[in-house]
Amino acid sequence: MSHRLGLFTRHLSSLSLSNATRSNVCLRAMSTVRALQIEQQGGPEVVQVVPVPAPTLSGSGKVVVRNEYAGVNMIDTYHFGGLYKLQTPIVIGQEAAGVVEAVDPDVTSLRVGDRVVQYGGGSYIEKQLLDAERVIKLPDSIDTRTAAACYLQGLTALTLLTESAPVKQGDWILVTAAAGGVGLLLCQMGKAFGANVIAVTSTEAKCQLAKAHGADHALLYNKENPEAYISAVRDITSGHGVDAILDGVGADTWEANFEIAARKGTIATFGNASGPVPAFEPLKLSPKNLKVCRPTLFNYVATREERERYSAQLFELVQSGKVKINIHDEYAFTTDGLRQAFADIKSRKTTGKLVVKI
């Protein structure tokens, strides 16, 4: 009896080992891709490039895109840092450009091999499953590196100038953080639309860069001495003030905006580089009949028609040379590479766009 029990026990052990071995083989055989997936929100330590299951076509209207470049955006730091609350674990990232690798049979707008750009979340990943209607085919003259560098920020700048604060010939516009990715695009687009452009930056070198990208005037902003800045804007505009303020800085420049705005002017606050703007009473708008908006790009390009229209306008501006894309640096798709990219963009010492080569 004990002999048979021993044999049975050894058989169970052998069976258990066999199952474990099969399980390990399955795990090794599972197709994976690398992604920046955060397990919780927090400091830079939560930024980790890890293997995740590779996407496959599932459901109708889908495509799989092999990403080649991803754009780095300040909002990425809000996502992993916790300013914007997210359910975790989650793959973060807002935009990428690459090549279509698989297409659902009911998708007719895209084919395998098409070069495309897209936005909307989860873009720090080697291969991505996407709704085909959110993917835009690239013109032959725009490569995937340029597309990733210009897409989200380009659409942001374009909709700020056409929707948030519609700019017309001869208007005075003021761009804060003017040497950043969105800032340089706003300077160029504003000039292309016929506006008088005032750029605001933190260093003389950035002032010169903004002027090289279309700004008519460039000012340094010192939050310790806002009166000098306010006086300079009034002098430049001959007392008229600024018709449209496009502010990506946030808290530091907020109060000065109300001083330099023209009568019936618009303040579009779209970033929190120095922290979020404070709450304010609506009566603050009354002395000049001001308008304040806090837009998000996604509500301006919510439909396929809007995405196609604004994408076409952006690509035309780039193709025509009216807008030049300034890429500050390119980073490796590694944990260290992404941590460095996020540290650099938060430092406010970069100029132009940061991209990650996937």
129 pLDDT higher than 50:
yes
**203-to-183, 218, 222 alpha-carbon distances in Å:** 14, 10, 10
Residue 188's Cβ-side half-sphere holds a number of Cα atoms within 13 Å equal to 26
Of 3-7, 103-107, 284-288, 326-330, the range with the lowest mean pLDDT is 3-7
**With bands split at pLDDT 50, 70 and 90, how would you rate the model's confidence at 58?**
confident
Distance between CA atoms of 207 and 15, rounded to whole angstroms? 72
Q: What is the pLDDT of residue 216?
A: 98
Percent of the chain with pLDDT over 70: 92
State the DSSP string of 310-322: HHHHHHHHHHTTS
Pick the CATH number of 154-296 from 3.40.640.10, 3.50.50.60, 2.60.40.1120, 3.40.50.720: 3.40.50.720
Has residue 7 got a pLDDT over 50? no
CA distances from 324 to 57, 104, 122, 185 (A): 36, 35, 27, 8
Q: How far apart are CA 178 and CA 114, in angstroms?
A: 34
pLDDT-based confidence at 352, cuts 50/70/90? confident
pLDDT bin (cut points 50, 70, 90) of residue 350 is: confident
Evaluate whether 214 touches 197 at the Cβ level (below 8 Å). yes
Taking Cα atoms as reference points, which of 231, 280, 284, 287 lies closest to residue 260? 231
The neighbouring-strand residues paired with 291 are 266
pLDDT value for 348? 79
Please work out, in degrees rounded to the nearest 5, the angle formed at the alpha carbon of residue 14 by the alpha carbons of 10 and 20.
145
Query: What's the chain's average pLDDT?
Result: 91
**197-244 pLDDT, tens digit each:** 999 999 999 999 999 999 999 999 988 889 999 999 999 999 999 999
CATH fold for domain 32-138+326-357: Quinone Oxidoreductase; Chain A, domain 1 (3.90.180)
Q: So where are the chain's domains? A: 32-138+326-357, 154-296
Strand partners, 50: 35
pLDDT at residue 203, as a whole number: 93
Structure tokens at 240: 């008229």
- Report CA torsion sign: 43, 349, 215, 228: positive
SS3 assignment, position 189: helix
CA dist 156 and 86 (Å) reads: 22
Closest Cα partner for 47 from 345, 297, 276? 345
Tell me the C-alpha distance between 122 and 258, whole Å: 37
Angle (deg, nearest 10), helices 181-192 and 204-212: 40
**pLDDT single digits (tens) 145-154:** 999 999 999 9
Q: Rounded to an integer, what distance in angstroms lies between the CA atom of residue 122 and that of residue 24?
A: 28
pLDDT at 26 over 70: no
- Residue entry with tokens 């069976």: 15
Distance of CA 339 to the CA centre of its chain: 16
Q: Is 278 helix (H, G, I), strand (E, B) or coil?
A: coil
Q: Report d(CA 67, CA 171) in Å as an integer.
A: 40
Query: Which pLDDT value is given to residue 222?
Result: 85
Contact 206, 178 (CB under 8 A): yes
User: Quick one: which of 152, 212, 147, 151 has its CA closest to 178?
Assistant: 212
Q: What is the mean pLDDT of residues 280-307?
A: 96
Q: How far apart are the first and last CA of the chain?
A: 63
Whether the Cβ atoms of residue 268 and residue 247 lie closer than 8 Å to each other? yes
Query: pLDDT at position 145, please?
Result: 98
